[in-house]
Structure 1
Amino acid sequence: MPMDLHYRLQCFVRPQPPGFAEGLRLALWQGTGTAATAAAVQQNLERLDAVAAIAASQQVQLLAFPELYLSGYIVTPELARLLAEPVDGPSLQRVAAAARRHGLAIACPYPERVVVAGEERFYDAIALFDDQGVLLRNYRKTHLWGPDEQRCWTPGYLFAEEGEALTVQQVHGCAVGLLNCYEAEFPELSRRLALQGAQMILIPTAADAWALLSTGERTDRPYPDVSRSLIPAHAIHNQCFVAYANRCGVETVDGREMAAYLGNSIVAGPHGDVLVAARPEPTLLIADCLPSDYGPFHPAGTRYLDDRRPELY
């Protein structure tokens, strides 16, 4: 039976979605829910399938969810180890099946369990599946925020066997790069993806108004809202689309309120323009992202990427 979802649908779309290699019809799910239990994971999987069905009805080609969507963001080291799964585990198999069933690519953040360099390790990861359910990329967060994340997770790509950290993947013929939450605040990362040809940088996040830390203390200020500053700035200086997918509302663990989120999901265009931006409420944001809509940002075709002098940096 389909999950009953209450949400706002916010669209910036043309009558028809972009053709292959022309761009992407992107959707971001901004919602709320429970976290850090096996029941929460099952509920989040059911919601993912329901949202994917709605997105497919809108001819969406890539659907993205917030950071650590499957488990919820609020986890302790103990819960991270309990809930983490391999990328080919049962939860991600269900995500791949949803991508196949609904015919759209899905970026699903999750807690990963895997043996790397001879030891079992845990990562704040993002699995990107194409519209046939084929895994295109399993990205592990490289820049961990704060003591809590550093207690829970290993930074990605410390070991050669993990391969290259920053890569782009083809989704519907469009080059997509992945970053994760805090990594939105490092200009070097988005620039690296742009230099590899990224036409879109997708950044799931968990930016909160407040959260309880593993020490039992409450954060003393909201997470910085970079949605209207750094996100459009990255889009301008890299001349690409940048999408930031956050939660909203209160996240609970066994009925206890553990965090409240800013609900500041946004899609920015290559000129720093805002295509769609959410209010702090459950929302499905949909935007047609077409590079051909944008000419040069500067007169005479001047481009930042062409005029760099990296020998000075």
Structure 2
Amino acid sequence: MKFLAAAIQMLATPDKELNLREAEAKVREAAARGAKVVALPEVFNWRGDKKEEKKHAEPVSGPTARLMARLAQELSIYLLCGSFLEEIPGGKAYNTSLLLDPKGIPIACYRKIHLFDVDIERGVSTMESETRQPGEDIVVAETEFCPMGLTICYDLRFPELYRALVAKGAQLIFVPSAFTALTGEAHWEPLLRARAIENQVYIVAPDQIGKNPKSFATYGNSMIVDPWGRVLARASDLPAVIFAEVDLSYLAKVRAELPSLTHRKVF
């Protein structure tokens, strides 16, 4: 089985309405060009001052999710709502990724497990845990194409999560991100290709791009990587939609010819 996947690269700003218009336009572009699985980046609907995060958090079935559900249904696509801030009781929010089926029905909800708490010399200092609550559940969605695993950005640095997703059957894993420009230059491509090679899966990684006036600069270079580790599609440093064919028979061939998953020993 084959299908066309698309990853959307955009710059989310503190203007939620503008972001949603941009996201909708790019989703429509992807569908018009034949994509059956479309993925948006992390915090695609709003990205601004962390002091305002709670104000912009929404219920998991709130306005952003409803808009995207209508879009998925109209276009008859699987749509990954990269992530948005989910309203929860207390002073924090979840960073939540929602996968919608072609009827607009949510079939998977993943809450980011690993929070980005770093203080890197040369300018990246942030503590997501000050305003966000970590999730706990590993999520794989069954679709008409293949099982799809959900992760978000900083999760990429934790290979154990990806092993667990593959153990649950994942053949494609989403990595919606707002990867920093500083870390992205050295780490983004090697990590994406490593996760694809180690787990013999397709990786669909839509990233934010550009400098947000209220946050750090993001790297862009959204990618789709195949199970051999080849980069099938890569964006530049501008807003874009990238496309690649996902070939599940090729995935099966890679796993059969180089059966590292079955050779794996657990220590």
Matched residue, 1:102: 75
1:228: how far off?
2.1
Could you list the runs of 5+ residues in structure 1 that have no partner in the other structure?
1-21, 158-164, 210-220
Q: Do the aligned residues in 2 keep the contact of 1:263 with 1:281 (CA within 8 Å)?
A: yes
Shift in Å, 1:185: 0.9
Give distance in 2, aligned partners of 1:171 and 1:26. Answer: 14
Q: Which residue in 2 is equivalent to 1:14?
A: none
Q: Aligned match of 1:233 in 186, 194, 205?
A: 194
Task: Give the match for residue 34 of structure 2.
Answer: 59
Please name the residue that 2:203 is paired with: 242
Q: Is the 8 A contact 2:109 2:139 kept in 1?
A: no
- Give the superposition deviation at 1:31: 1.5
Equivalent residue in structure 1 for 2:86, among 112, 133, 140 = 112
Q: How many residues align?
A: 258
Partner of 2:233: 276
Work out the percentage of aligned pairs sharing the same amino acid.
29
CA offset digits 1:163-196 (Å, max 9, x no partner)? xx11211233221101010101111011111111
Structure possessing the higher radius of gyration over alpha carbons: 1
Secondary structure (helix, strand or coil) at the match of 1:171 reads coil
- Taking the aligned partners of 2:232 and 2:65, their CA distance within structure 1 comes to 30
Alignment-derived partner of residue 132 in structure 2: 153
Distance 1:208 1:303, change over 3 A: same
Give the direction of change, closer, same or farther, for the CA distance of 1:34–1:226 in structure 2 (3 Å limit): same
User: Which residue pairs with 1:287 in the alignment?
Assistant: 244
Deviations 1:227-279 (CA, angstroms, capped at 9, x unpaired): 321211111111110122111122235xxxx4322112111101111111111
> Is the partner of 2:217 in helix, strand or coil?
strand
User: Does the C-alpha gap of structure 1 residues 152 and 308 become closer, same or farther in structure 2, counting only changes over 3 Å?
Assistant: same
Normalising to structure 2: TM-score of the pair?
0.90
Q: Which residue of 2 aligns with 1:178?
A: 150
Q: 1:47 aligns with which of 22, 26, 30?
A: 22
The aligned counterpart of 1:129 is 100
Give CA-to-partner distance per residue, 1:283-310, whole Å, 9 cap, x none.
1001111121346448x83412111222
User: Is the Cα–Cα contact under 8 Å of residues 113 and 120 in structure 1 kept in the other structure?
Assistant: no
The offset of 1:199, in angstroms, is 0.8
The 1:55/1:172 distance shift into structure 2, 3 A limit, reads: farther
Does the 8 A contact of 1:61 with 1:172 survive in 2?
no
Matched, 1:309 2:251: no
Secondary structure of the structure 1 residue equivalent to 2:178: coil
Whether the aligned pair in 1 keeps the contact of 2:185 and 2:219 (CA below 8 Å) is no
Query: Amino acid of the residue matched to residue 303 of structure 1?
Result: P
Once residues 48 and 252 of structure 1 are traced to their aligned partners in structure 2, the CA distance between those partners, rounded to angstroms, is 19
Instruction: Output the aligned Cα RMSD.
Output: 1.9
Amino acid of the residue matched to residue 122 of structure 1? Answer: A
The separation in 1 between residues aligned to 2:2 and 2:163, in whole angstroms, is: 20
Counterpart of 2:171? 199
User: SS at the partner of 1:243?
Assistant: strand
Match for 1:112: what amino acid? E
Residues 295/92 of structure 1: CA separation in 2 closer, same or farther (3 Å cut): closer
1:31, 1:45 → 2: CA distance?
A: 11
2:127 is paired with a residue whose SS is helix
Give the residue type in structure 1 aligned to 2:10: G
2:59 is aligned to 86
For 1:97 and 1:59, how far apart are their aligned partners in 2? 18
More helix by share: 2
CA distance in 2, matches of 1:67, 1:133: 20
SS at match of 2:65: helix
Q: Of the candidates 2, 13, 31, which is equivalent to residue 34 of structure 1?
A: 13
Residue 85 of structure 1, CA deviation: 0.5
SS at match of 1:227: helix
Question: Which segments of 5 or more consecutive residues in structure 2 lack a partner in the other structure?
Answer: 118-125
Letter in 1 for 2:158: F
- 1:273 maps to amino acid: R
Structure 1 residue 224, shift from structure 2 partner: 5.8
Q: Read off the aligned partner of 1:240 and give its amino acid letter.
A: V
TM-score, with structure 1 as normaliser? 0.77
Pick closer, same or farther for the CA change 1:233–1:222 going to 2, 3 Å. Answer: closer
Partner of 2:222: 265
